[in-house]
Amino acid sequence: MQFNGGSTGALPGRLRRAPRRFLTAGLAGLLAGAGALAVTTGPAAAGVTQYVLPASVSYTDARQPTHAFPATAADVPVGTWQADGVKHTSRAYFTFDLTPYRGKEIITAQIVTGESAVADCTKPRKLELWRTDTPAAPPSWNTAPAVREKVGDVGPTAPCPAGYLELGVTEVFRQAVADGRDSLTLMARIAGSHEQYKHFGRRLKKPGVSLEANAAPDVPGKLSVAGLACAAGRLIGTTTPVLSAEVTDPDKLEPYAGDQVRATFAWWPVDRPTERTEWTSSAWHAPMLAQYTVPGGLLVDGGTYAFAVRAADEHASSGWSPECRFTVDTTRPPAPTVVSTDYPSDRSYPGHGGPGIAGDFTFTSAADDVAGFWYGRSGLTMYVAAGPGGTATVSYAPDEYGPDWLSVQAVDRTGNRSPQTRYEFWVRNTAPTVTDGNPDGWLGQPREFTFAPNMTDVVEYVWSLNDGTERTVAADSAGAATVTVTPTEVDNTLHVRSRTRDGVLSGDAGYAFSVRTAPFVTSADWPFDGTTGAPAGTEGSFTFTPAMADVTEYVYAFGRGGQRTVQAGADGSATVSYTPADAGYHTIEVFSRTSAGVESDRVGLAFSPASVAPTVASEVYPRNTTGGGPGVPGTFTFAPHSSVTGVTSYVYQFRGEPERTVAASPDGTASVEWTPSAYDNEYGGWVEVQVRARTAAGVTTDAQYYSFRVDPQSPLVTSDVFGWQGGAVVGQTGEFVFTAQLPGTTEFVYAFDDGAEAMVAAGADGTARVSWAADSPYGHSLTVRSRTASGVVSGPAYYNIFIDPS
C-alpha cells in the first residue's frame, strides 16, 4: 500500500506492536467514536500512540459565502453537491490541538477517515488534503484561511465508496510541533476544476489521526544504595551494593502502562573518575524501579564511590541524575563485653537475684565507631544506643529461675554487626517451698498448705488459688506460714510468692496439684499391668471404691458395650461380675455418682483375658495358603485347648454362612466337611472360619480364627489374533480358546468389556472357542469363568486386549 495516496491496506514502515495493529485494522470502527487510545508495548517500543479527534470540524459553502458551518454531525460535504435543486460547493476544515505535544518528537502520524456517501463512483477520487492557517473561528467561503501547502491525495486508488481511507501526515505534524504551533488545520477539497462538478462530490466521515509521539524520559530520581537513600556521608556495609533509581517517562496514559525505558547506571571511584563503568538495563514499562548490583571484587573497604543514572526510550534520553556518593565500610566491630554485678556470670548454684528482680547489665565495645547494641534473651530484639566510650547499660529482669542468658551484638554507624556475645548467668530460685498436708484429700475437703521461705527476712506471703482473689498471710519468726485451702476443682494451682521486709517479691511457686475424683478399680482376676489374666469365657469380678464422698452408684461399660449402673454399698464400694467372650485386649470405663447427681472423672483401664481357643486343621485347605478349589470338599478338624477339659461341642461359622454346631467325640475333637460352591471373588478367594469350644459346664471359649484361600481353578484363555501388546485392528475377527481347569466343566460364562454375559458349551476335551471382532480401537477386556453341571463356578480369568488405531 502506498503511504501517500491512501488505500484500505495495512500501515507500512517499521514493525508495529500487536496493540497498534488494532489501531490500524480497527480504526474504521473508531471513526464514529471519540477519545484517545494508549498503546503499550513489547520491549522494542517507545512513545504512546493515540487516536486523536479534531478539536473543531467545519465546512464552507460557495453558495453561502458569508456563512460558516461548524459540524457536529458524523460527516461533512466535500466538493459540489445539490440540494433542493440548488448547487453547493464545499470544503472541509479540521483543526487539531497540538499543545499536548509541546517538546515531544512526532514519530508517526496518519489521518484516517472514510466516505459515508459518494455522488458517482464511476469518477476517480480527486480528494486532496491541504495545510492552512488556523482560523480563529470556523471560516466561511469568503474568510477561508490562507492555504500553505498540499499534504497529499487521499486514497486515489481505494475502492468506492471507501469505508476506510488513510494518509500519512507525519511530516506536516512534525513540522507544526517543531515550529511551536498550538494547532494544525487541514483542509479537505476536491482537486482543481473537478471541484465544480457534482459527480466528484462526496461526504467524509469525521477524521482522526493515529499519532505516535515521544517525550524524553524524566531525569531519574530517588537514588539509593544498598537500600539506603542517598545522603551526605552515606556509609554502606557491603562491597556488592544494589544501586537503585526511580525511572519515569511523561509518555503515559492511564490505565495503560507508559513507554518502555532503559536505565543506564554509571559508577566510578571518586578519586579516579576516569575509571567509569556503565551498565544498561533491559527495557521495561515506566514508571519502574531500576536496579543494578555492583559485581563482587570491584569495591574495596574504605573506598568512596559515586554513581549516577539516566534513562532512555527508543528515541530520546534524559540527562544524568545528580551523583550519589557513598563510602564502603565492611569492617565488623569486635564482639562486645558484658558485665553485671547483680547477675555475675559464674553460673554457680544457687545463683543470684531471682525471677522478677531486675539487674543492670553493661555492654562495652572496643570499636571507635560503635552506634549501639542489639540484645535479647530469645533473639536480638531490643536496641540501646551507645553512650560516650562505646558503652550502654540496660536493666533486665529474668522471668524464671535457673540458667539464663543475654545475647549482645554491637553495631557500628554503617550498620555492620559484630559477632554475638552470649552472657550466661544463674538466677536463684526465690519461690517459697509449698508442702501439702493432705495430698489424698477428696474434692471439697479442706487441706493445709505450709509455706517455707527461700529468701532471707521474709515477713509475709501473697497467695491465691487458681484465678481466685489474692490474699496475704504473715510469716512467723522462722519465716513460715500455713493456710487452709478447700479445692472445688479437680486441677488446681496454688500461686505463692514471699515478700521481704524491703518489699522484694520472690518468684511464684506455682504449686500444681490435682484432686482425684475418679473411682479406684481393682480385679483379682484380670490385672491392669499388661499381663494376661483368667481365660476368656471365665467369670470374674471388678471392685469399685470411691474417691468422692457420698457415692451412691457407679456407671461402667466394658469395651463398646452399653453403660450399666450398679448401686454402691454403705462403704461406697461395689463389685460387678464379667465373663469375657474373647481373649486379648479389653477395656473397662467407670465413673461414680453421688446422691446429689455429681459425677466423678472417668477412669479407663485395659486388661487381657488369656486365650483358650480351640485349634483348627485341614489338609485340603491349609491355614494361610491356597488349596482345594470350587466344588472340592475339605475336612476341618477341631481340637480343644490344652487347658480346657470337658468339651462337648464346637460352634463354628464359615464366612457368609449361618452358625452351626458339631458335637465333640469322647476325646474332645470334632470334624466337619465343607465344600465351596464357587470362588469368592469379593475376597480374592480367601475364606475365614470362626470356631469356639463349648464345655459340659456351659463355658464357651474365645474364638479361633482360621483363614485359607480357595484355589480359583480359573480357565486358561489364549488367542492367536488378539493380545495386550496389540497387532490387531478395528474390524478384524479372531478366535479365543477357553481351556477348563475346573474338573467337570460343562460350559464357560464370558463377557467382553464388562458387557452382558454369554455362555458357550465346553467340548469333551474341556475347551471351547469364541469368535470376536473388534469394533473400536485401544483397550478391551475379556472375563471368563467355567461352570460344572452341578453349578460349581471357578474363579475368573481376565484377558486384556489392545486394538491398534487405524
What pLDDT, in 10s, does the model give residues 159-172?
Answer: 999 999 999 999 99
pLDDT of residue 255: 60
Please give the average per-residue pLDDT across 714-734, as a whole number.
Answer: 95
pLDDT in tens, 96-155: 999 999 999 999 999 999 999 999 999 999 999 999 999 999 999 999 999 999 999 999
The highest-level CATH class for domain 221-328 is: mainly beta
Q: How many CA atoms lie within 13 A of 146 on its CB side?
A: 2
pLDDT tens per residue across span 449-491: 999 999 999 999 999 999 999 999 999 999 999 999 999 888 9
The answer to whether domain 433-514 has CATH 3.40.190.10 is: no
Q: Are strands 728-729 and 797-804 parallel, antiparallel or unpaired?
A: parallel
Confidence check: pLDDT of 30 > 70: no
Instruction: List pLDDT tens digits, range 769-780.
Output: 999 999 999 999
Q: What is the mean pLDDT of residues 428-432?
A: 94
Beta partners for residue 653, in sequence order = 690
3-state secondary structure of 192: helix
- For residue 23, pLDDT over 80 is answered with no
Whether the ω angle into residue 622 lies within 30 degrees of 0, i.e. cis, is: no
Domain with CATH 2.60.40.10 in the chain: 221-328, 337-427, 433-514, 520-610, 615-710, 716-804
Does pLDDT of 87 surpass 50? yes
Res 208 pLDDT > 70: yes
Angle at 419 between CA 416 and CA 421, to 5 degrees: 130
Residue 158 CB neighbour total at 10 angstroms: 22
Fold of 520-610: Immunoglobulin-like (2.60.40)
pTM for this one? 0.50
Interatomic CA distance for residues 272 and 385, integer angstroms: 37
Question: Three-state DSSP class for 204?
Answer: strand
pLDDT tens digits, 225-257: 999 999 999 999 999 999 999 999 998 766 656
CATH architecture designation of domain 615-710: Sandwich (2.60)
Per-residue pLDDT averaged across 587-602, rounded?
95
| In the predicted structure, residue 222 carries a pLDDT above the cut 90 | yes
250 Ramachandran zone, left/alpha/beta (phi>0; psi -120 to 50): alpha
Nearest to 251 by CA among 548, 48, 97, 509: 48
pLDDT digits (tens, 9 = 90+) for 620-671: 999 999 999 999 999 999 999 999 999 999 999 999 999 999 999 999 999 9
Q: How confident is the model at residue 259 (pLDDT cuts 50, 70, 90)?
A: confident
The pairing of beta strand 202-205 with beta strand 75-83:
antiparallel
Other CB atoms closer than 10 Å to residue 704's CB: what's the count? 21
Q: How confident is the model at residue 72 (pLDDT cuts 50, 70, 90)?
A: confident
pLDDT of residue 698: 86
Among 316-325, 500-509, 741-750, which is the least confidently predicted range?
A: 500-509
Residue 75, CA distances (Å) to 68, 145, 271, 414 in order: 16, 21, 69, 70
- CATH classification number, 337-427, choose in 2.60.40.10, 3.40.1710.10, 3.40.50.970, 3.20.20.100: 2.60.40.10
pLDDT of residue 101: 93
* CATH topology (fold) of 716-804: Immunoglobulin-like (2.60.40)
For residue 19, pLDDT over 70 is answered with no
pLDDT (tens digit, 9 = 90+) per residue, 510-535? 999 999 999 999 999 999 999 999 99
pLDDT of residue 47: 60
* Amino acid 348: pLDDT: 83
Question: Which pLDDT score is estimated for 538?
Answer: 87
Kindly provide the b/e burial profile for residues 741-759, where b requires at least 16 CB atoms within 10 angstroms of the residue's own CB. Answer: bbeebebbbbebeeeeeee
What's the confidence (pLDDT) of residue 2? 29
Average of per-residue pLDDT values in the chain:
91
Q: Where are any strands of DSSP class E within 477-571?
A: 481-485, 491-500, 511-514, 520-522, 532-535, 540-545, 551-558, 564-567
Q: What angle do CA 525, 614, 672 make, to 5 degrees?
A: 150
**End-to-end CA separation in angstroms for the chain:** 49
